[in-house]
C-alpha cells in the first residue's frame, strides 16, 4: 500500500500548517513540516480544512431514490409518506433496492460521508429490504461503514408479524433494534413496545435506536419510557431516541425534567433537521411550529446530540444529496444556533457526535487512527457549513476514494478580480 503525505492542512481544532503522514491505511504522524520518506505520494492541502469524514446517524437506505414511485406525497405529511411507502413495498425488488442504495452510497462517498446508520423496514415478511441492505453493507464495507437498524415501520405490536420479522432480521445480522412507539395504536401500546424492544436488545447485547415521538403531540412522551427502560436494563450509552419532535411542543417544565432523565440514562438524541422542518407542524395554521427537538437545551445538558439526513428523494422528502453540511446548515437555522460555539456544535453534530452515537472505533484525525478524512474547501468548520464546502479529496483507509474540483467562478468585471474567493481571508 502506498504512503500518503498531506501537506499544509488546517485541522478542525484550529491547528494550521499541519502535515498528515499516512501509511498502510493508518495515520502515522501529524505535525508541521514532516519529512517525506522516499516514494511517498504528496498532496498539498493549501491550508484547506482536513476533517474527519461525515457520519449520518439516521437514514433510510431502503426508501432512498424512490421519489415518485408509485406517486408523490401530495399532503407532505409523515402519515401520507408512511402510507405511500406501504403502497410501494409490494412492488420492490431486491435488484432495484440494491441499485438505489449503491447509488446513494456513491453520492455519500463523493460528499465525504463515510459512515451511515440506516433503518431498514422489517415489516415485509419477505425481508427483501433487509437482505438487500445486508448485501449492500458487505459490498460497500471497504469504503463506507453501514450500520443497520431493524425498523418495524408499521409498529412492532400494531403489525401482527413485525416482532417475529424483527427477530429474524437480527438473526440475519442487522446490528441495532429499532422501534416506532408513537405509531402503535395507543400510548400504552407504545410504552409496551418500548419495553419489549429494550428487553430484546438487552437479551441480545445490541444497541437500540427508535423513531421516538415523531409527532407534534406534546403528550407523546415515549422518550421518557425509553430513558426509564434504558436505566432499568443498564443499557446506558447504547440507546438513541431519533426525531423526538414532540419535545418541541412540550411544556417547558416537563421538558426540563425529561432532559435530566435522558442525561441520567445516557440516551443519545438524533434530530433530522431537513425532515423535521418539512414534516412537522403540518396540522398547524399560523403560527406554525418548527417541530425540531430541543437541540441546544439537550446539548447544554450534556446529552449527545447528532443530526441525521433521514431521507433523500423518497416518500417523505423530495430533495437531498447526501450532503451532511446541508443537514448541519438547516439544523443551525431551525434551532437558531447562531453563536460561533453553537455553529461549531452543529458541525460536531454531523461528525464526532454521530461517530459517538454509532460507536465507531478510531474515529478522528489522530496518530494510530485509520486514515479516513475529507479535505474541505473551507478554512474552518463554520465556514464549511456556510459554503457547504466542496469536498476536494475524500480518503478512506489511506486511499483516495473521491475528488472534486474547487468551487470557483470566473468574473469578467472591470476592476474586479478574475476569480471568486468565497472565503473570509482574516
Ligand atoms: Zn427515520
**How far, in Å, is the centroid of ligand 1 from the Cα of 233?**
25
**How far, in Å, is the centroid of ligand 1 from the Cα of 214?**
9
**How far, in Å, is the centroid of ligand 1 from the Cα of 180?**
10
**How far, in Å, is the centroid of ligand 1 from the Cα of 377?**
30
pLDDT tens sequence across 370-399: 999 999 999 999 999 999 999 999 999 999
| Spans of the chain below 70 pLDDT | 1, 425-426
pLDDT value of position 425: 64
Indicate the SS3 state at residue 21.
Answer: strand
The three cell numbers locating residue 319: 430533495
pLDDT tens sequence across 302-351: 999 999 999 999 999 999 999 999 999 999 999 999 999 999 999 999 99
pLDDT value of position 1: 60
d(CA 42, CA 302): 40
User: Which sign, positive or negative, has the C-alpha torsion 217, 303, 342, 14?
Assistant: negative
**How far, in Å, is the centroid of ligand 1 from the Cα of 270?**
10
pTM here?
0.97
- Listed residue (392, 422, 398, 395) closest to 409, CA to CA: 422
Strands (E), 76-144: 113-121
pLDDT value of position 89: 87
Query: What is the set of active-site residues?
Result: 214
pLDDT value of position 423: 84
CB 392 within 8 A of CB 382: no
**How far, in Å, is the centroid of ligand 1 from the Cα of 39?**
47
Amino acid at each position: 500500500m502506498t504512503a500518503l503525505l498531506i501537506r499544509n492542512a488546517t485541522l478542525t481544532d484550529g491547528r494550521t500548517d499541519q502535515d498528515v503522514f499516512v501509511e498502510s491505511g493508518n495515520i502515522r504522524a501529524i505535525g508541521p513540516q514532516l519529512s517525506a520518506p522516499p516514494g511517498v505520494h504528496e498532496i498539498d492541502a493549501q491550508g484547506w480544512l482536513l476533517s474527519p469524514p461525515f457520519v449520518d446517524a439516521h437514514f433510510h437506505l431502503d426508501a432512498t431514490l424512490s421519489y415518485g414511485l408509485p406517486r408523490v406525497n401530495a399532503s407532505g405529511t409523515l402519515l401520507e409518506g408512511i402510507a405511500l411507502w406501504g403502497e410501494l413495498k409490494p412492488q420492490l425488488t431486491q435488484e432495484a433496492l440494491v441499485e438505489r442504495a449503491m447509488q446513494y452510497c456513491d453520492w455519500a462517498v463523493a460528499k465525504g460521508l463515510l459512515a451511515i446508520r440506516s433503518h431498514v423496514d422489517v415489516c415485509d415478511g419477505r425481508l427483501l429490504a433487509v437482505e438487500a441492505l445486508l448485501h449492500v453493507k458487505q459490498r460497500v464495507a471497504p469504503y463506507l461503514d453501514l450500520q443497520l437498524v431493524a425498523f418495524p415501520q408499521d409498529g412492532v405490536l400494531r403489525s401482527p408479524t413485525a416482532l417475529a420479522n424483527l427477530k429474524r432480521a437480527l438473526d440475519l445480522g442487522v446490528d441495532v433494534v429499532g422501534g416506532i412507539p408513537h405509531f402503535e395504536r395507543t400510548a400504552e401500546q407504545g410504552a409496551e413496545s418500548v419495553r419489549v424492544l429494550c428487553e430484546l436488545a438487552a437479551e441480545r447485547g445490541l444497541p437500540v435506536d427508535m423513531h421516538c415521538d415523531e409527532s407534534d403531540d406534546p403528550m407523546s412522551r415515549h422518550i421518557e419510557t425509553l430513558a426509564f427502560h434504558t436505566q432499568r436494563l443498564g443499557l446506558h450509552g447504547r440507546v438513541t431516541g431519533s426525531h423526538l419532535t414532540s419535545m418541541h411542543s412540550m411544556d417547558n417544565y416537563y421538558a426540563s425534567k425529561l432532559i435530566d432523565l435522558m442525561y441520567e440514562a445516557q440516551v443519545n438524541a438524533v434530530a433530522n433537521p431537513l425532515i423535521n422542518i418539512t414534516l412537522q407542524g403540518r396540522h398547524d395554521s399560523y403560527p406554525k411550529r418548527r417541530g425540531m427537538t430541543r437541540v441546544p437545551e439537550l446539548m447544554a445538558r450534556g446529552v449527545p446530540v447528532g443530526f441525521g439526513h433521514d431521507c433523500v428523494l423518497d416518500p417523505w422528502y423530495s430533495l437531498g444529496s447526501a450532503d451532511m453540511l446541508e443537514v448541519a446548515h438547516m439544523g443551525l437555522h431551525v434551532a437558531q444556533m447562531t453563536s460561533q460555539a453553537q455553529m461549531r456544535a452543529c458541525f460536531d453534530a454531523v461528525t464526532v457526535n454521530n461517530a459517538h452515537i454509532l460507536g465507531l472505533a478510531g474515529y478522528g484525525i489522530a496518530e494510530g487512527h485509520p486514515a479516513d478524512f475529507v479535505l474541505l474547501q473551507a478554512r474552518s468548520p463554520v465556514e464549511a457549513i456556510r459554503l457547504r464546502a466542496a469536498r476536494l479529496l475524500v480518503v478512506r483507509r489511506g486511499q483516495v476514494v473521491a475528488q472534486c474540483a474547487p468551487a470557483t467562478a470566473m468574473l469578467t468585471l472591470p476592476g474586479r478580480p478574475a476569480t471568486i474567493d468565497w472565503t473570509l481571508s482574516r
